[in-house]
Amino acid sequence: MIAFGIDIGSRNTKLVVLDSVTRALLFSGWQGTDVSPMLTVQALIDKARQECGIGMPDRIGCTGYGRKLFDQPCRILSEISCHAAGVGYFHPDCRSVIDIGGQDSKIITLRESGKVEDFAMNDKCAAGTGRFLELTALRLDCGIDRLSDLAREADAILSISSTCVVFAESEIIGLISRGEKPGNIARAVHVSIAKRIRAQIGALEMRPPVYFTGGVAMNADLALCLSEQLQQEVHVSLQPEITGALGAALIAAES
């Protein structure tokens, strides 16, 4: 018995193949979401089927920004439930999840059973999302995967106060024109995002352990800034880039 979990994100698409009986992870992969998302999904499915020697399963869960674009029979699932299930697979002790994606950010609190208790979602502004990091990397003329290393070189505290990504980008341009070091700018962006997440939590009762997931969680300096702003340790989930797809496969496997 095989289950597919598909997470069609605004920036990247992820696929997980799961053994429904043993819950063993048989395959995971991701690639940038194409202009036609189904081309990306099909490429990942073809790769998974070839590597695993399998056909199309009856159990498919689909989540993410483009989940309703999937044109085959499947369960359409919320990102909230999928990320909760995916992080819980790796970390059964998890009680709170921070998921920062390309276009939105989500805070999820879990019961001891691992089920979702409450959540808060920001999908109105890119200032607390991966999109802000992409714009920062573009302005600093580096790869997005270099931002964490750059920020570790920071030797001064800068402030980015705008709550809108458009105005925040203008602040970054101003800092560059003043000759501020790239590392100081990168750290200021990370602190700005961490403060947005702290404000987003609002009335949610976040309990430890807290796990950071989504592709943005690969940024170690941002994880550090989150820990400092929330005044508690924020752990980076194992394989954070696939937790949404993994959760979709887990939920589909139960159907």
pLDDT tens for each residue of 47-87: 999 999 999 999 999 999 999 999 899 999 999 999 999 99
What are the tens digits of pLDDT across the range 3-28? Answer: 999 999 988 999 999 999 999 999 99
pLDDT in tens, 127-163: 678 889 999 999 999 999 999 999 999 999 999 987 7
- pLDDT, residue 82, reads 98
pTM for the complete prediction? 0.94
Average pLDDT over residues 92-105: 93
One domain for residues 35 and 84: yes
Average pLDDT taken over every residue of the chain: 94
Provide the token pair at 46: 């073809």
CA-CA-CA-CA dihedral for 5, 10, 13, 18, to nearest 10? -20
Q: What are the start-end ranges of the E strands in the chain? A: 2-8, 12-19, 25-32, 59-63, 75-76, 96-100, 105-110, 116-122, 210-213, 234-236
Clarify whether residues 74 and 179 are in a common domain. Answer: no
Give me the torsion for CA of 221, 225, 231, 237, rounded to 10°.
-50
Query: Are 191 and 250 members of one domain?
Result: no
CA distances from 122 to 58, 86, 241 (A): 33, 20, 19
Residues 16 and 36 placed together within one structural domain of the fold: yes
Same domain, 207 and 181: yes
127 with 205, same domain: the answer is yes
Q: What is the pLDDT of residues 34-49, one digit of tens each?
A: 899 999 999 999 999 9
For residues 220 and 164, state if they share a domain.
yes
- Scanning the structure block, which residue is given the tokens 């809108």? 164
| Residues 52 and 102 both lie in one domain | no
* Range scoring the smallest mean pLDDT among 50-54, 121-125, 249-253: 121-125
Same domain, 132 and 146: yes
Is residue 123 domain-shared with residue 154, that is, in the same domain? Answer: yes
Q: Which CATH number characterizes residue 171's domain? A: 3.30.420.40
- Domain span at residue 12? 1-91+241-255
Tell me the one-letter amino acid at 196. Answer: R
Query: Nearest 5°: phi and psi at 139?
Result: -70, -30
CA distances for 13 relative to 66, 92, 216, angstroms: 9, 25, 14
CA distances from 112 to 51, 94, 174, 231 (A): 36, 8, 47, 22
Which pLDDT tens digit goes with each residue over 189-215?
999 999 999 999 988 999 999 999 999
Domain count, the chain: 2
Adjacent-strand bridge partners of 211 = 97, 235
What per-residue confidence (pLDDT) applies to 161? 85
pLDDT band at 115 (very low <50, low <70, confident <90, very high): very high
Do 254 and 206 lie in one domain? The reply is no
117-150: string of b/e by CB count within 10 Å (b at 16+)?
bebbebeebbbbbbbbbebbbebbeeebeebbeb
Q: Are residues 206 and 111 in the same domain?
A: yes
Q: How far is CA 150 from the centre of its chain?
A: 21
